[in-house]
Amino acid sequence: MSPISGADFAPFAERMRAAGLAEVVIDNFEHYFRTLASGSTGNIPEASITPVTDTPALADLEQYAAEGARLVNRVAMLKLNGGLGTSMGLDRAKSLLVARDGLSFLDIIARQNQALRARYECDVPLLFLNSFNTDDDTRAALARYPELRGDLSLTVMQNKVPKVLKEGLAPAEWPADPELEWCPPGHGEVYVVLRTSGVLDALLASGRDYLFISNADNLGATFEPAVLGYLARHEVPFLMEVARRTEADKKGGHIARNADGRLLLREVAQTPEADLPAFQNIERHCFFNTNNIWVHLPTLRAVLDEHSNILKLPMIRNAKTVDPKDAASPAVYQLETAMGAAIEVFAGAQALHVTRERFMPVKLCSDLLALRSDIFVMDEDYRLWPNTARRHGAIAIELDSRYYKRADDFEARFPATPSLVDCSRLQVAGDVLFEPDVTLRGAVRVSNDGPGQQCLARGTVLEDCSLSLPLVEE
């Protein structure tokens, strides 16, 4: 993209002020707009970074657990809850979807927090960062948990920013649905929101020095005293939990080091096309960001003060259409930032290697099927753990996107979750209804190549086989 001379920010500022957005938000967006207009793509070339091959591991931090337990009253938790789950056909907060045992993600998170408070006999503030798409539904659901309310609001509102027309870099206009002229600015905005909402100062005033941030769809992201103790003992200002990449993670953002030796986060949208093979090389870039982030709040306040509340995180330029459902609608850029990208802003920031027990996100219905199954068990504190009876590694699930992509279609075909504890791989092709009490073991493929829906009957047990429906009696 060539620089666009004279690109005018005034129409954006006018539109944002009319929407009641704070000047700090406008100033931040102007920075990214100017970056875009300068011709920057936000790309991070492979030649400019060095792979990270080793980090401290959570498994080695047990000696810090007792210290972390003593510091629980200095920590707060924030869940990123702005996503609608559009990849699963949802039009409401994904956290309201049933995760397992009849409980939504939000229900389980709330109960995890209640159990945490009871275990350590202190309040641990729980906050949700919502978008304009998820705030109302989330507030309504949280009304069921009045005991979580404290001096702080349970919800913090993310801002919205204008979409930018690819041609001419003017504000996008879409009279058919004006809300589509706006987009969330990415979860990298969380630091600015903490400042502008007053939550940062309120947390510090209440004695909370640490904030643990994670995605609402990752129920493995629970409080870990050993991490808190490690942070305090070594005065770590910012810590990102990372996990080993597998083939399933090769499109997720990985960590690396820049020329100055600082850690950075590179997303696939920031990778030049020629460097995609290196980006996806899980042996070269072996750690990916789980989006479990620990922040020392006094340091965050000092960094925001130093940068006049504009952290200048690397820009992510997402090319879209103004109406995501209409490929013929005008091409736009959505200017976003990633929360984990702040790792290069904090001197002394670290990455911590964690296992998959702390990373179980749900992005697709196949992930939801695994989460609901007996691959996992939920303890009395509502924490999820791998079932010790399982002999296989991570399960591979492939569901036919024609019938299982949307959550409502998925629910209709899985009214009950089959037993998968002994299943290593599941492939479903075609329209198949799974009745209750189905057991799948080893590598199983179920297909329906005919017209109409076929049923896998109650009580069916399949092991290391490929089954074609309908069954033909001989």
Mean pLDDT computed over 271-286:
95
| Phi, psi (deg, nearest 5) at residue 23 | -60, -35
**Confidence (pLDDT) at 131:** 87
Q: Which of 250, 251, 363, 405 is catalytic?
A: 363
**Confidence (pLDDT) at 7:** 76
**Confidence (pLDDT) at 252:** 86
Q: Around Cβ 131, how many Cβ atoms within 10 Å? A: 21
Which alpha helices (H) appear in 156-264, and where do they start and end? 190-196, 199-205, 225-234
CA–CA gap between residue 112 and residue 119 (Å, rounded): 10
- Indicate if the pLDDT at residue 448 is higher than 60: yes
Instruction: Decide: 416 and 436 in contact? Cβ < 8 Å.
Output: yes
CA–CA gap between residue 473 and residue 123 (Å, rounded): 63
Question: Could you check whether 10-358 and 365-469 share the same CATH topology?
Answer: no
363 is catalytic: yes
Higher pLDDT, 393 or 332: 332
Query: For residue range 191-243, what is the model confidence (pLDDT) as tens digits?
Result: 999 999 999 999 999 999 999 999 999 999 999 999 999 999 999 999 999 99
Give the distance from CA 66 to its chain's centroid.
29
Cα dist from 414 to 34, 403, 417, whole Å: 49, 11, 6
**Confidence (pLDDT) at 5:** 52
**Confidence (pLDDT) at 112:** 98
Helix-then-strand count for the chain, H and E = 13, 25
**Confidence (pLDDT) at 151:** 82
Q: How would residue 6 be classed by pLDDT, with cut points 50, 70 and 90?
A: low
**Confidence (pLDDT) at 247:** 86
Query: For residue range 66-83, what is the model confidence (pLDDT) as tens digits?
Result: 999 999 999 999 999 988
Give the distance from CA 207 to its chain's centroid.
27
**Confidence (pLDDT) at 471:** 74
Token pair, residue 440, equals 């799948």
- Please name the residue that has the structure tokens 């998959």: 356
Instruction: Decide: 263 and 52 in contact? Cβ < 8 Å.
Output: yes
- Indicate if the pLDDT at residue 249 is higher than 90: no
**Confidence (pLDDT) at 374:** 98
Whole-number percent of the chain with pLDDT over 70: 98
CA–CA gap between residue 136 and residue 127 (Å, rounded): 15
The architecture in CATH of the region 10-358 reads: Alpha-Beta Complex (3.90)
User: If you average pLDDT over every residue of the chain, what do you get?
Assistant: 94
CA–CA gap between residue 4 and residue 238 (Å, rounded): 36
Q: How would residue 4 be classed by pLDDT, with cut points 50, 70 and 90?
A: low
- Please name the residue that has the structure tokens 């690396």: 256
Query: For residue range 369-383, what is the model confidence (pLDDT) as tens digits?
Result: 999 999 999 999 999
**Confidence (pLDDT) at 155:** 93
Cα dist from 233 to 59, 67, 214, 439, whole Å: 17, 8, 22, 48
Least confident of 259-273, 277-291, 374-388, 460-474: 460-474
Mean pLDDT computed over 309-313:
93
**Confidence (pLDDT) at 89:** 87
Instruction: Decide: 52 and 256 in contact? Cβ < 8 Å.
Output: yes
Mean pLDDT computed over 337-365:
95
- Indicate if the pLDDT at residue 3 is higher than 70: no
The architecture in CATH of the region 365-469 reads: 3 Solenoid (2.160)
- Indicate if the pLDDT at residue 50 is higher than 70: yes
Q: How would residue 1 be classed by pLDDT, with cut points 50, 70 and 90?
A: low
**Confidence (pLDDT) at 91:** 81
- Of the candidates 392, 355, 401, 353, the one whose C-alpha atom is nearest the C-alpha of residue 370 is 392
Domain boundaries, the chain: 10-358, 365-469
| pTM of the entire predicted model | 0.93
- Indicate if the pLDDT at residue 2 is higher than 70: no
Whole-number percent of the chain with pLDDT over 90: 87
Q: How would residue 304 be classed by pLDDT, with cut points 50, 70 and 90?
A: very high
41-45, 181-185, 435-439, range with greatest mean pLDDT: 435-439
Q: Around Cβ 381, how many Cβ atoms within 10 Å? A: 13
